[in-house]
Amino acid sequence: MKNFYNTFGSLSFLLLFLFVGSCKKEPEKALNFLKSTYRPDKHILQNNIDKLMAVGVPPKFCYYYYPSIEYTIGYPAGTDPQLLDRIARSVEEELSKAASILYLSYQQALNAYQSAQNNAFQLVTGAGFNYYPPTVYEPYQLCPGDDGYMALIDPCFQKMLVGNMARDSIIAAQNSTILTKTTNTSVEYGAEVKLVAPTSFSPYKSTTVRTDNATNNFNPKFTWSTTDGFTVGVSHGHPSNSAPSPADAIWLVSNINVPALRNASTEERNFFRSNVFVTVVASLHTYVITVNNWQALEKLYFEFKADEAGFNANYIRLTTEHGSSEHALLSLFGEAINLYKAPAGSTNFKPVGMAYGGTGDFVIEILCP
Ligand SMILES: [Zn+2]
C-alpha cells in the first residue's frame, strides 16, 4: 500500500454527489441516479509505535481499511430532493461505521462492509428507491514496511498493557478506594501510580489515596527517586463522571522537566515518555489516557498554560455542544493522546477514537479482535 498519507492527508470530509443524466427508457420506468462516495478522509488511528518498543514485543499486524465506499441510488424523476437527501445521509451514516475503522483482519473488514451494505440496501429500498453497491470491493491492506505504517501502533496491544496495569493488585486496590471515596463524598480522591524501579512495569509502589477536598481537582505530587518512587501515572476520581479533563491530559507532559526526571538517563526519560498515563475512575466508566504524539501534546501544553481559562471554556463549550466530555477531549487533543475506556469496575479497556462522517465527527470504539 503506497501513499497512505495521500489517501488520508486531507482534513476535510469529502462527499461527492454526481448526478448522472436520466436513462433513456420509457418515461414510467425512467430512473435518475445519485452516485456518491463515502470517504473518511481523516483517519482515526495514529498511535505511537515506541510504546511497543518499550516492552520489546512490537506485534506485526497488517491492518485493513476502506478509504472510501461508493454507492448509487436510483430514483424516479420527480422524487422529492429532500427525501433523497435524507436517505443519502442515512446511507452515509451506515457506511461511515464500516469506513472509519482500521480492522485487524481481512474477514473483519469484509464483514463490516457487507453489514453496512445490507443496512444501506434496506434503507434505500425501504424508501422505494434502488440501491446499487459497487460489485467488487476489497479492503486495502496496510502492513509493516508500507508507507504510513510507522504512524500506527496496534491499539489493541496497548489496550492490553493498560488492562495489565489496572489489574495489578496495588493499582486495582488504589482505584477501588478512589472510586468508593469519590462516590461517597463527591470530591476527587486520587493517588499517584509509582514504580519501585524507573524502567520496569512492576512492581508498583503502594501510594496513599488522599483528597484536596475539591469537587473538580486533584493535585498529583510527582516524584522520580528510589526513596519516593518513580511516578508514571496518576489515578483520580471524577464525581461528575466526565472523561479526563484538559488538565489531566496536560499533566502527561508537564513533568518531563522536573529536575529529577530532567537529569535522569535517556532510557528513563524515554520510558517515562512512552508509558506515562492518567486514569480517571468514575461511577460509570474508567478512562485511561496515554501520550500518542509527544510534540503535539507539548504544543497543547503551552497553549493551555498561556490561557488556562480560555482553554477550559472551550472544553466546556464543546462538552455542551456535543453532550459528551469524551467528544470534547478528543476534539481538543485528538492525535496527541490515546483514550481507553472500560465499564466501571472492569479492566476490559477498549480504545476510543474519533471518526469523521457525513453528520460531523463522532466518538467510536476502535474495534479489536
Ligand atoms: Zn481529572
pLDDT of res. 231: 97
Cα 188 to middle of ligand 1, angstroms: 8
What confidence tens digit (pLDDT) does each residue in 256-297 have?
Answer: 999 999 999 988 888 888 789 999 999 999 999 998 888 889
Low-confidence ranges of the chain (pLDDT < 70): 1-29, 36-62, 100-102, 104, 143-157, 355-360, 368-369
CA of 343 to the centre of ligand 1 (A): 17
Distance of CA 333 from the midpoint of ligand 1 (Å): 15
Cis peptide before 203 (omega within 30 of 0): yes
Instruction: Give 154-165 pLDDT, tens digit per residue.
Output: 566 677 778 888
DSSP code, position 263: T
211: burial class by Cβ within 10 Å (0-12, 13-18, 19+)?
Answer: middle
The pTM of the whole model exceeds 0.75: no
pLDDT digits 0-9 by tens, 68-122: 788 899 999 899 999 999 999 899 888 877 775 667 678 888 888 999 999 999 9
**What distance in angstroms lies between residue 246's CA and the mean position of ligand 1's atoms?**
8
Centre of ligand 1 from the C-alpha of residue 193, in Å? 14
Dist. CA 232 → ligand 1 center (Å): 16
- The whole-number pLDDT of residue 67 equals 73
Ligand 1 centre from 225 Cα, in Å? 25
Q: How far is CA 277 from the centre of its chain?
A: 15
Q: How far is the CA of 121 from the centre of ligand 1 (A)?
A: 44
Report the alpha-carbon distance of residue 71 to residue 228 in Å, rounded: 60
Q: How far is the CA of 218 from the centre of ligand 1 (A)?
A: 7
Q: Which cell numbers hold the place of 93?
A: 451514516
CB 201 within 8 A of CB 195: yes
How is residue 148 written as a grid cell?
504510513
Residue 360 confidence (pLDDT): 65
CA 230 to chain centre: 28
Give the count of alpha carbons within 13 A of 34, CB side only. Answer: 23
| φ/ψ of residue 364, rounded to 5 | -130, 155
Q: Cα of 177 to ligand 1 centre, how many Å? A: 16
pLDDT of residue 1: 29
277 C-alpha to ligand 1 centroid (Å) = 12
Ligand 1 centroid–CA 179 distance in Å is: 13
Ligand 1 centroid–CA 178 distance in Å is: 12
CA 236 / ligand 1 centre spacing (Å): 6
